[in-house]
Each structure stands twice: as C-alpha cells, then as structure tokens.
Amino acid sequence: MSVASSTEDVRVGLEATGHYSYNLLSYLVKKNFKTYVINPLHTSFYRKSLSLRRTKTDSIDAQTIASMMMSDVDLKSYSDTLIRTDELKSLTRYRYDLVRERAKLRTSVSRLITILFPELEELVSCVHTASVYALLIKYPCADMIAMTHLTKLTNLLTDASHGHYGRNKAIAIREAARNSIGTNMPAKSMELRHTLQLILKMNEGIEEIEKEIQKIMDEINSPILTIPGINYGMGAMIIAEIGDFRRFESPDKILAYAGLSPSTYQSGKIDSPYAHMEKRGSRYLRYALFNATKYVCKWDPDFAAYLCHKLEVGKHYNVAISHAAKKLVRVMYHLAISGEEYEGKGQKQERDRSMDLIEENME
C-alpha cells in the first residue's frame, strides 16, 4: 500500500549503528528517499525529554525517531556525497590502523636486532630501510652474515639500496658480524624474518590504500588542501570524519565533535580554573587535526606567528597547538563553506606587491 505519491514526500530516519545500517542506508539513498541518520545519544536525550520513565524498547525508540522527524529538530539528510565520504572514512581509518600496527612491528624489529645483531644500528643510518630489510630477511642473525661470501653480500646491499651501499659497507657489516655480541637464536631469527616480511606486505597495502584515497580526494577537490602543511593523508582524514561541513552550524560544533573543546566545571561558588580537553567524539578527527596543525604551523607564516605568540604568553606546547587547531578549524570551515582557496596574510601581501609592480609597469 502506497503512503505517498512520490519518494520526495517520504522521510526516513534511522539510528547510526555502524556497519549494520550501511546496506539499508545505501539502498534508501539510491531510491532517492530523504534519509536522516541520527546519533543514538541524540535519540536517548530526546526520549528522556519526553518522559521521566526509564523505559527503552525498540518500539519506543521507533516512536522517538518518528517524533524527532516530525518535530523542529534540525536534522541533515544523507546524500551520495556522504556515502562517498563514508568510503573515504573507511579507507583513512583502515590506513590509520595499519600504520599503527606497522609501528608496533617496527618496534619488534628493533628489539630483535638488539638481540641478534646489535652492532648493525651503528653501521646504518636507519634499520628500517629497504637495504637493511633485504639483508635481514636473507641473513637474520650475525652468524649467518659473518659466514656469507663478500661478493654475495655486496651484491645484495647494492641492489637493495640502489647503489647507496657498496663493497665498503659490506666489509664493515661482515666484520661487525664476526665480532658481534649478538645471540644466535633460531627462533628469534625466524620471528625477525617473518616480521620483516609482514611489514613489507603492509607497506604494499598502505601504498594501495593511499592511491585510492588520493583518487577520491581528487574527485572531492576540497579547498582545505590549499592550506600549506595539509597533505592528502591528514586532509583526507579530516574530510572523512567531518563529512559535509554544512551539517555543523559553526566551527565550534566541529571542535566539540572532535573533543577539542575545553571542559567546564562549576558548582555553586566552586569554579575550576583548569579547563581540560574533553577528548570525546571522533579520536580519528582529533588525531588528524592535532597533527595537521603542527605541519600548518611549520609551513604557514600566519599560523607560525600565532603559535609563537601562545608560547610567549606561557602556554604549554600542546596547549598552544590546541589553540592553533581551533584557529585551523575556523579557517577550514570558512574555506569549505565558501569554496575559496586559502590565502594567508603573507600571500595577500605578495599578491598586492605583484599587482603594484604590474600597474607601475603599465604606467
């Protein structure tokens, strides 16, 4: 039985339940239904405002959502763009988890090298390079390197380092291996070899994910990437977590969503002077904003000056960065809403000087 003449007259509301609601959400959007995804916490607060009774059932939740849809509660409908953003969110979060897991594996590699061949760290600029990995996958302990023919060792290092390491480096490594205090433990050697192979496989996966992220970012073509210091990685994570900037009434709403807003404690005459960061909401967005701000403060003169000012007035570095992050969110919000590209004060001054020179030459 039809309840409306067209899909435009139908509004569908559902709670955000992670991957459980994704298929239904995708179907409704493709069928052009105005679909609203509601935060379960929002639903809970709204239900409590309707009744003092502590009752929660599926039917009551359905009635609450229907009541919210018919009320004046400001809800933003879902769209194909948000589904594309969800794909970006899936990729950026997957990459984030892989990078963190890879960091743990690299720590294990450093630990195993300390046991099997501790002198190696003094002979190379970094143990986490392609040449060192190729060496240790083939010969995962000092004793095996010490017994290797010099020509074979030289060829391996030369090929893996693209000519950066040669015969002299091979001689130094083999000599250090022959006098190494490292312990020959077959079990540890196997663990090292497997860990290195796993890291290399993860590198391939991360590279593939980054290519797909860049493809989606090129389609989105967000103006926030024009801010110096924001690359595809951090920019993609910020856009993926925020989605459509227009669904937030102000930059402060984004800060609250990221958990970067200061908490407030006041009761009677007690007013705490120490405002700690809330750290609620999306930890991925909080991570991306905090780290992106560090690079923006490094590459943009305006933000660098702002950070220096906060440090000069006695702010701790992390507190100063959080202030700069708030400024960055306000700038990104303006760029996303207006569609304008970023232009700092230094860039504006340079542009004005160029225009003046052009006018002088014309005269």
CA distance 29 to 11: 11
Span 159-184, mean pLDDT? 94
**CB-facing half-sphere around the CA of 116: CA atoms within 13 A:** 25
Under 8 Å CB-to-CB from 99, ≥6 apart: which residues? 206
Q: Is the pLDDT at 75 greater than 90, yes or no?
A: no
**CA distances to 52, 109, 165, 204 from 140, in Å:** 67, 11, 18, 22
Q: Give the containing element (helix H, strand E) for 160.
A: helix 150-160
What pLDDT, on a 0 to 100 scale, did the predictor assign at position 73?
A: 63
Span 127-151, mean pLDDT? 95
The reported pTM is 0.74
CA distance 171 to 249: 65
Enter the tokens of residue 4.
């409306």
Beta bridge partners of 293: none
CA distance 38 to 250: 19
What pLDDT, on a 0 to 100 scale, did the predictor assign at position 70?
A: 75
CA distance 208 to 193: 23
CB 109 within 8 A of CB 128: yes
Q: What is the pLDDT of residues 191-209, one digit of tens each?
A: 999 999 999 999 999 999 9
Nearest to 118 by CA among 98, 136, 94, 92: 136
